[in-house]
Structure 1
Amino acid sequence: MATLLFPDHLPLNGGTLIHINTRREIQRFADNVAFGITVEGETARILPIHYLDHIRRFFWREDCIRLVLQFYAKIIIPSDLEENLQLVLAYMDEVFKCFVAEFPPYSELLPTSRSKTFDNYLKIEFWVGRHEPTHVRDYRRSNERNLDRSDITECDWEAYEARLGPIWSGTRTRYQFQDSVWKVQTAELLLKEMKRVYDPVFVRDPDFGYTFQEHGDDMDGST
């Protein structure tokens, strides 16, 4: 599964992770059969159109995490949460790299082409909601659903967006941040969501070297 890409330590120092692929954008084509992804202004890959909405949500999630980390000094992020957000961001960057690498050149691209890595990411996102290995493992132990054999095309993504809410899903702002004067306020709203979704307590685990546990009813980020 995609969680094999989840790091057990920070690959970079401090806040430098917020700069990973900051100029990653979507290119729309008139034929509406495929779309492009650019990184630092260069086209990285042409992809089939059925991944467009998923990539929008994926990029929005990355942008949200970067925004919160950018204003860490102003909005006061608990240190454990800050580290976990950087781990999640590094993980998503690895997922993206594998995603684009799994597609052939545009001349060989089929409308039905798929990425195993990204499909696995989407399955975990839809069914588990968190990507840290221990959460995926716990889901497997407590649910009868086989994530590996589940069909990503049968997931109800409209219900998924409703479950996330308009801010965290990106639908309220159409996957764009408002004028810069409101970015700190937006970061504060997003931080509340991230405390709910990602807030961890670090404990040792012999299988993974680390795990994360929910704070339970304590959602203020204290440990």
Structure 2
Amino acid sequence: MYRILLVEDDQSLAKVLSDHLKKYNYDCFISSDFEDIESEFKQISPHLVLLDINLPKYDGFYWCRKIRQLSNCPIIILSARNGDFEQVFGIENGADDYILKPFSLDVVVAKINGYIRRTYGDYATDKSERTVSRGDIKLYMESLILESSQLQAALTKKEMLLASILLEHSPKVLSRETLLAKIWDDESFVEDNTLNVNIARLRKKFEEIEAKVNIEAVRGIGYRLFIEGIE
């Protein structure tokens, strides 16, 4: 079942839209913390986001940029702002589509169906989605999704690059220099603790998907990734 994150502060509209989407077998999550949409996105790892513009604290353009830094999943803006500037600005900030309010529920569903098919389903271009697989762990490099045991976690681009090189070379030890060169264009300007921080974040992502993985620090050299049951 595909997951949709609905970021809409009009609760009555959100419920109507959510109930309608459930009829089409979508798992719809209504945002509840408008000050930290980013954390909700990471927790839910949605396949698609429906995003209002007029939101408390930060507007939808801000959250669109934040989400786009984490994932390439489709983002559809739902807004009463009908000016050309707003629509162009929304697309330029990472949205894939812009639907004006008031809207037809059937039109929204048709748009969602189209993006889901093109991104994940019948019309998806398999060649465009690079993956790394080890055991039951699968990393989707364009979608920035880490998957195992039917659970998924959204990654940042740097977390994805770090996961890819560790998975590809598991269980070999990779030097800090090798890892830094893979992730940063010029590792000479990266603080020594930066790699440690990103390793710690990646460990948490593996925990989120209940993967039987251990990223071991090898003193004086770097890191290696072990997967239980795989030599």
**Coarse TM-score class (shorter-chain normalised):** under 0.3
Q: Which has the higher contact order (CA 8 A, sep 6+)?
A: 1
With normalisation by structure 2, the TM-score equals 0.27
With normalisation by structure 1, the TM-score equals 0.28
Determine which structure has the larger strand proportion and give its number. 2
Bigger CA radius of gyration: 2
Determine which structure has the larger helix proportion and give its number. 1
